[in-house]
Amino acid sequence: MMPTRVLVSGDPFPDESLHGFVLRMAGRNRMAGLKWVLDQLGRRSIAQLGEADESKIAYLFGADPHAVERLIVRGRWIDGMQVHWIHGQEVTRPYLLRTARPQWCPRCLAEFGYARVPWDFQLVTACHIHGAKLLERCPSCSRPLRWQRRSLLACTCGASLQNVSCTPAGDAELAVAGWINAHLACDSTNDPGTASWQSLLEGLSLDGGMRLVYAAGLRRDAGHRVGPGEARAGLTTLECRLACERAAERLGRLASMASDEDRTHLRQLVHLPALLALSQDGATAADRQLARSMLEVGLGVAPTHGRFASRSQSAQLALPGV
């Protein structure tokens, strides 16, 4: 059964998130929260919304069905692996998304009034438009922000999410955020940057580039041993910000063709299992080739039957962009 259509209708913005659109439209119709909307959609939580709800969401808000269809995060199990598609982009690792854990740019909410889809990505920790760090905790009550709240523009405690001071973001997190924005077609004017590590991302799929940054920056130091559960866990915005900074530094050293001593050190810093997985099941040939090049040339190791073996310096591969 189709829901009852609201009085104030509207379409989503091209780069708006699904949850943000639902919460924004509830606010436009003077609803204090999402209870009525979720009742109409037959859901108990906004986190349950998915592709089965797209026609109902479009009808409920009088929106263009094709515009709503673009917002939906779709998931499929392929060869025992859960794969998602968001804004037409394939994401093979669920932990690279954070659709259920909102973060925001106060200046974007104040200027545009909606939640942007790049904020739903784990490695996006900065606003590429305003150069500011994204927030995930309310400065007033210190609690993590939730989608299940009364207003898109306010926390559950009632504090405004617009009138919040912003902190300038670092170069590495801005570069990663800009690259992801460009892949999502949210910012076609994005400057790819001139840093040597950024050249490694050229030609990679969105999934491949995010997995590369994740593999390079996940480990805090040489003594950090990453367990399977930790590797797949959802990181906080701060943890991802630090991971982007570490990835930029380490990938920069790899792109500059590190010395033997430096390669030995980098082997202790890069999360090799993640890089090996990318070399074997990357979404594109370019993703797999770069990962193999980094393993064999950059780090001096090679995958052999799922394990790493020593590799001489005579490997006949080259890092792209170097």
pLDDT tens series, the chain, 322 aa: 788 999 999 999 999 999 999 999 999 999 988 999 999 999 999 989 999 999 999 999 999 999 999 999 999 888 888 899 999 899 999 999 999 999 999 999 999 999 999 999 999 999 999 999 999 999 999 999 999 999 999 999 999 999 999 999 999 999 999 999 999 986 555 555 567 899 999 999 999 999 999 999 999 999 998 887 887 888 999 999 999 999 999 999 988 876 788 888 999 999 999 999 999 999 999 999 999 999 988 888 865 544 444 433 333 344 544 3
- The domains of the chain are located at 1-72, 192-300
Helix (H, G, I), strand (E, B) or coil at 141: coil
Query: Model-level pTM?
Result: 0.89
- C-alpha 202/C-alpha 208 separation (Å) is 11
- What is the distance, to the nearest Å, from the Cα of residue 176 to the centroid of all Cα atoms in its chain? 10
Structural tokens at position 314: 């005579």
CA atoms within 13 A on the CB side of 48: 9
Q: Roughly how many angstroms between the first and final C-alpha of the chain, as a whole number? A: 58
Integer Cα distance of 60 and 7 in angstroms: 9
**How far is the CA of 193 from the CAs of 1, 15, 231, in angstroms?**
50, 22, 28
Interacting residues of 109 by C-beta distance below 8 A, sequence separation 6+: 115, 152, 153, 161, 162
